[in-house]
Amino acid sequence: MPPWRWRAETAIGIAKGLEYLHYGCTFPIIHCDIKPDNILMDHMENPKITDFGNRQAP
């Protein structure tokens, strides 16, 4: 099991990604299907949000 610090940093990274999608893009993107299967980790263990098939743009 990963240490708690790693889990917290991963959760914060996902939250920052969602914040960018909602507020940082020219047109906000709402993912609508956040779940563990839709989060990938890059080679530096940074979370990446994937699977935008159900997304909505308000």
Among 33, 37, 42, 51, which one carries the catalytic annotation? 33
Give dist(CA 53, CA 5) in Å, integer: 31
Q: How many CB atoms lie within 10 A of CB 31?
A: 19
37 is catalytic: no
Q: How many CA atoms lie within 13 A of 22 on its CB side?
A: 9
Residues identified as active-site: 33
